[in-house]
Amino acid sequence: MIVIKRSGEEVTFDSSKIENAVRKANAATIETDRMDEETIQIITRTVTDQCSEFSRAVSVEEIQDMVETAIMAERAFQVAHNYITYRYERALVRKANTTDKQILSLIGRYNEEAKQENSNKNPTVNSTQRDYMAGEVSKDITRRFLLPADIWDAHEKGIIHFHDADYFAQPMYNCCLVNLEDMLQNGTVISETMIEKPHSFATACNIATQIIAQVASNQYGGQTITLSHLAPFVEVSRQKHRKNVEEELAEAGITADPEKIAKIAEERVHKEIVTGVQTIQYQIITLMTTNGQAPFVTVYMYLDEVPEGQTRDDLAMIIEETLRQRIQGVKNEKGVYITPAFPKLIYVLDEDNIHNDSKYYELTKLAAQCTAKRMVPDYISAKLMRELKGDVYGCMGCRSFLTPDRFTDTGTFGNPENAGNFKPGVHKYYGRFNQGVVTINLVDVACSSEGNMEKFWEIMNERLDLCHRALRIRHEHLLGTPSDVAPILWQNGAIARLKKGEVIDPLLYNGYSTISLGYAGLAECVWRMLGVSHTSEEGMKFGLEVMQALNDACTTWKKAENIDYSVYGTPIESTTYKFAKCLQERFGIIEHVTDKNYITNSYHIHVTEDINAFDKLTKEAKFQQLSPGGAISYVEVPNMQNNIQAVLALMKHIYKTIMYAELNTKSDFCQVCGYDGEIQIVEDEHGKLIWRCPNCGNTDQDKMNVARRTCGYIGTQFWNQGRTQEIKERVLHL
């Protein structure tokens, strides 16, 4: 068995430490109230047996709680008093200095929790360690000064989750849609250097990657750029190449007709598109931002974002090259092509590319090949999005959607961000952002109510009030932020072009930005209340009622405060494990509810439930409609590289059925033996889940490349035990 110390370090379970702690408390008790030797042994065995029942590592705090309970069960109340007093005294000592041990464990590279906190961060490198160390200080400040005690207590107990406390000490927002068009067309400033409008597609791509890196270093969530903002620069390059070809031929004394000149120029344009897309792909993968990872960036591919004609055809060429390069993959340190985690790709399905006779159907077939090979792109149905939102636009880095741009009686909200590409009467999405997230643990609401429906709704309202107060704190923490804190965002066009010293407050109201009420564990919540899956008629009815309650709360808050609260299907990566551990500690093991080391993301059907891909998407679509602030559905599929027609069938079903969805395949490589099949999850001698190559038995995570979809985005093999168990237990839907 493994024990997680308070520093995050993992150590082997040692029952003698339990016995010694009980002996010390016993020795500090007057002789008449002491326990005998047999009782001490009983308590030690009881706690040891309880720890062995967990299919995960147990924390020191959990073990100490078990010891307290066991001593009390033996009615040794004075011994229990002394044990509790000692714990309290040690807690006071730790409270006086809450960060040193955590920071030292990071520097010493033995903090296992940090290693598994983010599957796309390597905590052994200096840049990541610096970010984590700063995060420890930020969390400490947040706990002691910035959040009320009841909100932090609820966060610690897994009742709610106050996201990104490791960044909350600074006035930073979550994620955004970058206004790349304004920055490229009207110029920007990067590191106090003026960047003018590029004169070629290749230069535009290069500048875009610099912008991406700067934005990533000034926010903590994901960002999205759209290829449509790069498309106009293809024509710039085309005209440049035509001129150069004419001059070159004239100098050589060659007379060529315009058609020949155009053909040669077009060949050069295509080469430049290849180079430009390659720049974006490799720059994003190799860049290291100040938060210790490659930029968490999504590339949005929607043909109808640009006018029909040459510009749309140029955009199609860029999309095609992006897909081709992703199909190829990138080389790992062994020189083998593998699946990169970023950039994430989103491909929009619409009438001009979804049908067999659609103009751009060949592009859609290429997207299907890319999905089968590299798990991306994800798919947005323009048809469903128009029905649900009235508009078609991309989500931010990890599924967060803005509320639709709304208009006033005077015609438009205006241009408070002072964007250079503002067009009166035209909906605006790029340059908008999300203020942050607080997530409610729906499973805890159900367990706390003990299955009593009246009590469930009472507790739900109490928890929603708690979330609302926490969200208000996030919002108020941003109020008064001067534009000077992040010039690339607030002054130089990524979000706004405010003046120096100007505050960002107007961008926090009127729907310009959103703030998210996250939720997790709907599947387990429904099962605890009704004893059925939320795919059943009864379960679905109740599940939709729960989702509607979240939306009603957001509507009430939004109406009262003019802040765009929105329901968000949280992509919990490490929090799924935290919530599960807290639930087990508070309520014990409940079958189908707390018997896993993870809880289910958002409204998703449980990963172990047997259901086919088409039914899963159809059923989940009803819940996705009530998650307007962001959500994504997925289906787990086998290797589909030889069955592209099945991928296309699923894509067409997505187009007709659900707004945002993806297909999960597997893409692994063992650096020891060269095996490129599925690397498996097994238990080691301590019961810990690890990755092992089925060909050579390699278990060194640093010598393998594992790519799995975890929360809507691709991660690598460094997940925590809860998420690893969830991946292991996924059933195929096709």
Higher pLDDT, 125 or 170: 170
Amino acid 123: pLDDT? 57
Is residue 263 within 8 Å of 355, Cβ to Cβ?
no
pLDDT tens-digit series, residues 636-663: 999 899 999 999 999 999 999 999 999 9
Label residue 253 left, alpha or beta by phi (over 0 means left) and psi (-120 to 50 means alpha).
left
pLDDT tens-digit series, residues 278-337: 999 988 888 766 565 678 899 999 999 999 999 999 999 999 999 999 999 998 888 888
pLDDT confidence bin for 119, thresholds 50/70/90 = very low
Is residue 421 within 8 Å of 186, Cβ to Cβ?
yes
* Per-residue CA distances from 113 to 65, 223, 312, 578, 644 (Å): 21, 26, 47, 11, 39
pLDDT tens-digit series, residues 563-618: 999 999 998 888 999 999 999 999 999 999 999 999 999 999 999 999 999 999 99
**Beta strand 378-381 with 660-664: parallel, antiparallel or unpaired?**
antiparallel
Identified catalytic residue from 62, 321, 573, 620: 573
333 in catalytic set: no
Residue 684, phi then psi, degrees to nearest 5 = -90, -170
Identified catalytic residue from 35, 301, 370, 396: 396
Identified catalytic residue from 51, 375, 385, 398: 398
434 in catalytic set: yes
Amino acid 100: pLDDT? 58
pLDDT tens-digit series, residues 178-192: 999 999 999 999 989
Q: Which of 590, 618, 596, 591 is nearest to 605 (CA)?
A: 618
* Residue 681: pLDDT over 50: yes
Length of the chain equals 734
Give CA–CA dist 371/323, Å, rounded.
9
Amino acid 8: pLDDT? 66
Tokens 């010390």 correspond to what residue? 24
Identified catalytic residue from 118, 119, 138, 434: 434
- 394: which residues sit within 8 A by CB, 6+ positions away? 177, 224, 226, 298, 300, 302, 346, 380, 429
Sorted by where each begins, the domain ranges of the chain are 1-96, 102-146, 175-728
175 in catalytic set: yes
Identified catalytic residue from 174, 291, 513, 698: 174
Is residue 355 within 8 Å of 349, Cβ to Cβ?
no
If one counts every other C-beta atom within 10 angstroms of the C-beta of residue 476, the result is 10
Which stretch of 54-58, 392-396, 711-715, 719-723 has the lowest confidence by average pLDDT? 711-715
User: Taking residues 329-348, what's their average pLDDT?
Assistant: 90
Specify whether domain 175-728 bears CATH 3.40.50.720: no
Higher pLDDT, 171 or 97: 171
Identified catalytic residue from 712, 713, 715, 726: 712
Identified catalytic residue from 400, 448, 551, 720: 400
For 469, how many CA atoms within 13 A lie in the half-sphere containing its CB?
15
Label residue 406 left, alpha or beta by phi (over 0 means left) and psi (-120 to 50 means alpha).
beta
174 in catalytic set: yes
* Residue 104: pLDDT over 80: no
Which stretch of 30-34, 460-464, 493-497, 696-700 has the lowest confidence by average pLDDT? 30-34
If one counts every other C-beta atom within 10 angstroms of the C-beta of residue 247, the result is 10
Amino acid 386: pLDDT? 97
Burial of 673 (0-12, 13-18, 19+ CB in 10 A): middle
Say whether 665 sits in a helix, a strand or coil: coil
Higher pLDDT, 368 or 17: 368
Burial of 32 (0-12, 13-18, 19+ CB in 10 A): exposed
Amino acid 121: pLDDT? 53
568 in catalytic set: yes
Identified catalytic residue from 35, 51, 66, 175: 175
- 698: which residues sit within 8 A by CB, 6+ positions away? 670, 671, 672, 673, 692, 704
Q: How does 308-343 read in b/e, with b if 16+ C-beta sit within 10 Å? A: eeebbebbbbbbbbbbebbbebeeeeeeeebbbbbb
Identified catalytic residue from 568, 577, 603, 655: 568
